[in-house]
Amino acid sequence: MASAVASTEAAVLIWSAGLLVAQIFAQGLALDLAGDLGMRYLLGPRDKGDISTGVPAGRLKRALGNFLETYPAFIALVLALTATGKTGGIAAPGAVLWLSARAAYVVLYAAGIPVLRTLVWVASMLGLSMMLLRLAA
């Protein structure tokens, strides 16, 4: 039976979409739990602008923003690796490292753990670099 996903990198891309959705829902839930905002705010036009969201919601919002800074590069690398037939090699563990580090980053950021969070971010950058090296080879 043939695999439904062509490469490890493509499989990680699918899982990364799941992480994105999970982060969006977590941030929304944290906003809902922030007290006076509630579902009325979340379902409305959010005209209040930049509001005070509380510590957990603020951390999750910043973690999502940080994820979105690297996500386009990850997607581009997966597509380029696939288009050039260079999947595998060092790129596959690089993609897994990137996703694993991004998932850990959210947990560490939400928990307010500063130094380890930064080291995990560096690991995610290493994962992207591994993918880039494979593409350049």
Domain boundaries of the chain, sorted by first residue? 8-136
Q: Does pLDDT of 42 surpass 60?
A: yes
Provide the H-helix boundaries in the chain: 8-32, 38-43, 55-84, 91-111, 114-136
pTM across the whole model = 0.86
Q: Does pLDDT of 49 surpass 80?
A: no
pLDDT band for 29, please (50, 70, 90 cuts).
Answer: confident
Mean per-residue pLDDT, 3-18 = 90
- Which residue has better confidence, 54 or 41? 54
Distance between CA atoms of 35 and 121, rounded to whole angstroms?
30
What would the CATH number be for the domain defined by 8-136? 1.20.120.550
Task: Find out whether 131 and 81 touch, Cβ atoms under 8 Å.
Answer: yes
pLDDT for 48 = 66
